[in-house]
Structure 1
Amino acid sequence: MNNTVYILGGHQTDFARNWYREGLEIFDLFKETLEQGLHATGIDAADVEAAHVGNFTAELFCNQGHLGGFFAEANPKMAGIATGRHEAACASSSIAMMAASAEIEAGRYGLVAVLGIEIMRNVPGDQAALNIGGPAMWAGHECQDIKYPWPHMFSTLGQEYQRRYGLKYEHLAGIADINFANARKNPNSQTRKWAFTPESFTENDEANPVIDGIIRRQDCGQVTDGAAIVFLANERTAEKYAKQHNIALSDIPRIKGWGHRTAAISYASKIAEGTTTNSPYIFPHVHAAIQDALGRAGCKDVFDLDAIETHDCFTTTEYMAIDHFGITAPGESWKAVEDGTISMTGRLPINPSGGLIGLGHPVGATGARMVLDAYKQVTGAAGDYQVDGAKNVGTLNIGGSATTTVSLVIGTGE
């Protein structure tokens, strides 16, 4: 049995929209995303056999659970299909993607939808920080009496780099600068119209104020409303789709490799793992998940990829991703910032979309959005943020303080 998982396309919403201010709710976001995804791909809703939702905190922000029921509510043709909702903090829709892929590989279904969604801008900022703080870490045990739990947590990650290898703020600022610049080319990015000065990417306390520890304003991913949907298919369905759309099956992207690891929920436990095993990597399990994906895709190393969409909820997270992917030796991520390796015109561009910092971070949608952006890159459909000649793109999506890690390789051809 051929268990290749193909990606037929999808849709992403405009991450600059504030749905609450428009008088709309999470169902409106869900329905529009589904409708636009079906329209963009030319898929008939009646042909979708199963569907999965990735979402983190709809209960807290919207007083809404049971999101799998939205498919039939949004489109009566989907009544009766198998659905499920998945939660793994920021990796929620990546876990939905893994479940949908497994169903296709097992031969259960031939066409499966994955929709990631989050509404986060319908409450004040302090409340949003609380809603996405404790639930994704060890509630009641970590970041007690911390106003902004996640900036604090990922400042601690940067401080761990400082302790082990040394870290200069200018390299974190360089990451932010690249991602915001890439986002200006993305018509769906939350920050595409934002304006900055040179001081915005320095340790200037007025232009770039401290949020917590070493984390400053431009180091932070955005609080975002948004959704993304992708449609996964088995080979028989993909062949039929290719004939209908007069394209070659080899030109339809597929999931070439995957890695999925879960560590202990507390940050301290994860740091202890790297210390007690004498690993050169801050998070050995993150490095292992990436290597799993590259290995399953048949990549000899990371430079077999043409671009990467990585988790940059904070600049320190992307700094970690650089050496954990193997772009540099452990502790030397700064080199890839300084020499332009990760820039849009570099050897291996990171976050041509703008990433979580530039494009935006509707938590439950991020994993699906990464896969959709990888699809766009390898089909030459990314527009102004297209990486020339991209055929293989890697993703890295993490939940919590890297508790859940999912890495994928998306590509076309052999």
Structure 2
Amino acid sequence: MKHKVYILNGAQTDFAINWHREEKGIDEILKQAFVVAADQSQLKVSDIQCAHVGNFVGELFCGQGHLGGLFASIHPDLEGIPTARHEAACASGSMAVLAAMRDIEAGWYDLACVAGVEMMRNVDGATAANYLGAAAWVGKEAKNAQYPWVAMFSEVTDYYRNNFGLKEEHLAAIAQNNYANAQLNPLAQTQHWKLEPTAFGNDPTLNPVIEGCIRKSDCSRITDGAAVVFLASETYARKYAQQRGISFESLPYIKGWGHRTAPMLLQDKLQNKVPQGAYPFPHLHHTIQEALTRANLPSSQVLDAIETHDCFTISEYVALEHFGLAAPGEAWKVIENGSFNLGGTIPVNPSGGLIGTGHPVGATGVRMLLDAYKQVSNQAEAYQVEGAKNVGILNIGGSFTTIASFVVGV
């Protein structure tokens, strides 16, 4: 890309914390992530020139909008800087990243803060599901569903089963892999969960069907949390490296990006019959390819790891193919040969993904970028992919409606 945008560290909150039980609000979630990120980055807060916040439905869960103003209130040195809040369902965090990149690429600012935040555990599950349904076309789809997104991704699962054939055991293996990886992540929501293999089977008591054909183990969790990263121009990044006595060439940067939007209705995306050898969601594949092309990488096969959107196991299954790790309809091969496991050729969701790490909706895209940064800077500790130099990201909003993809590397 013409103008490199560097990542100068960041932080996330512990996704296992239920902030409502701690009697704390969304502002305190955001503040904790920011304070830790600033400390770990060794940045002067007064150097930050603008901020972008990703959030989906703060108004519904917390009765709180205008999060850009909220951000400018969490530290005295942030008062007066320009801020904005960005929303694109589960891809809200990535929209904040893209906006900050544009500020830097245009030359207006040299240091931007990107935050993502969501507070979701302050209501019961049915209410949360109803709030999250705002990312669908309200009144036109999932109208009779108790859990709108479970119902819609059940449709995607049926679509794949009808067009390609699909086995529950392969979806179960995706969930097991993500939970296993999350055991290594100290900030994962499920780090301390102990799940027996029967929790991923078809026993209606141990792994009940939630709606349609989606079982409990197929679903990501309702999560509270925030993530923050600092993005910088080459000018600021060089100064940052020099002041700290580190190699400028070792600083990770965003090598490539892709961003597309499909029609809102899921049914408009589901073709009646997928042509032989074609991708079921071509816009998804094209977005990933845009990021790879901008990163000057020939294919996903040269990536060292992938952080992908697994709001449900089927969304990761679909992503494995659309990344090009398997031919359309053949993601099961990647699962069976183990190449997507942490010790495989291209580990997928070494962090634990959304299923294992948690899915505070507005924070997810920023958390993905942070984990990619950790991998290529050798800071992922127990879930580090050895020698990682290029990590791909796929963040999805709605029913494959808003798509964002990044390549982070050194």
TM (norm. structure 1) is 0.97
Q: 1:258 to 1:383 in 2, by over 3 A?
A: same
Sort the Cα spacing of 1:267 and 1:298 in 2 relative to 1 into closer, same or farther, 3 A.
Answer: same
Q: Shift of the alpha carbon at 1:275?
A: 5.1
Match of 1:335 among 333, 336, 358: 333
Q: Name the SS for the 2:73 alignment partner.
A: helix
**Alignment gaps of 5+ in structure 2:** none
Match of 1:60 in 2: 60
Question: What is the Cα deviation at residue 407 of structure 1?
Answer: 0.3
1:155 and 1:214 in contact (8 A); partners too = yes
Partner SS state of residue 132, structure 1: helix
Point out the more displaced range, 31-40 or 170-179. Answer: 31-40
The alpha carbon displacement at 1:199 in A equals 1.1
Match of 1:367 among 351, 365, 385: 365
Report if aligned partners of 2:288, 2:405 keep a CA contact under 8 Å in 1.
yes
CA contact (8 A) 1:58 1:64 kept: yes
Map of 1:398 onto structure 2: 396
1:155 CA displacement:
1.1
Per mean C-alpha deviation after superposition, the further-off stretch among 188-197 and 86-95 is 188-197
Q: Which runs of 4+ in 1 moved over 6 A?
A: 276-279
Residue in 2 that maps onto 1:387: 385
Moved more, 318-327 or 150-159: 150-159
Contact kept? 1:2, 1:235, Cα under 8 Å: no
Q: Secondary structure at the match of 2:210?
A: strand
Q: Secondary structure at the match of 2:235?
A: helix
Aligned mates of 1:43, 1:196 — CA distance in 2? 40
CA drift of 1:276 comes to 8.2
Measure the CA separation in 1 of the matches of 2:274 and 2:348: 31
User: What do residues 146-194 of structure 1 show as CA deviations (whole Å, max 9, x unaligned)?
Assistant: 1011111111111111111100000000000000000000000001111
SS at match of 2:254: strand
2:408 aligns with: 410
Kindly provide the CA deviation profile for residues 346-386 of structure 1, in whole angstroms up to 9, marking residues without a partner as x. 11000000000000000000000000000000000001000
Residue 205 (structure 1) aligns with: 204
CA contact (8 A) 1:397 1:406 kept: yes
Q: Which amino acid aligns with 1:179?
A: N
1:9-408, aligned counterparts within 5 Å? 9-133=9-133, 135-272=134-271, 280-408=278-406
Q: Number of paired residues?
A: 410
What is the distance in 1 between the residues matched to 2:276 and 2:334?
24
**RMSD of equivalent CA atoms:** 1.3
Amino acid at match of 1:324: H
Measured in 1, the distance between the counterparts of 2:223 and 2:39 equals: 24
Per-residue CA deviation, residues 188-208 of structure 1 (Å, 9 max, x unaligned), is: 000111111121121121211
Note if contact 2:163-2:274 (Cα within 8 Å) is conserved in structure 1. Answer: no
Q: One-letter code of the match for 1:193?
A: H
- The answer to whether the 8 A contact 2:259-2:404 is kept is yes
**Aligned residues with identical type, % of pairs:** 54
Going from structure 1 to structure 2, the CA distance change for 1:276 and 1:335 (only over 3 Å counts) comes to closer
Q: What do residues 249-294 of structure 1 show as CA deviations (whole Å, max 9, x unaligned)?
A: 111000001000001111011114x858877212110000001011
Note if contact 2:277-2:328 (Cα within 8 Å) is conserved in structure 1.
Answer: no
Q: Which moved more, 1:72-81 or 1:257-266?
A: 72-81
Amino acid at match of 1:95: M
State the TM-score, normalizing by the size of structure 2. Answer: 0.98
For 1:231 and 1:87, locate their aligned partners in 2 and report how far apart those are by CA, in whole Å.
19
SS at match of 2:367: helix
Contact 2:368 2:393 in 1 (8 A): yes
**Gaps in structure 1 of 5+ consecutive residues:** none
Seen in structure 2, the aligned counterparts of structure 1 residues 2 and 167 have a Cα distance that, compared at 3 Å, is: closer
Secondary structure of 2:179's counterpart equals: helix
Partners of 1:31 and 1:349 in 2: CA distance = 32
User: How far 1:2 sits from its partner (Å)?
Assistant: 5.7
Secondary structure of the structure 1 residue equivalent to 2:117: strand
Residue type matched to 2:336 in 1?
E
Distance 2:212 2:348 in 1: 25
In 1, the alpha carbon distance for the partners of 2:200 and 2:296 equals 38
| Secondary structure of residue in 1 paired with 2:318 | helix
Question: Aligned-pair distance for 1:13?
Answer: 0.4
Give SS of 1:74's match.
coil
CA offset digits 1:108-158 (Å, max 9, x no partner)? 10000000000000001110000101x101001000121011111111111
Kindly state the Cα deviation for residue 87 of structure 1 after the two structures are TM-superposed. Answer: 0.1
Supply the AA of the counterpart residue of 2:113. Answer: A
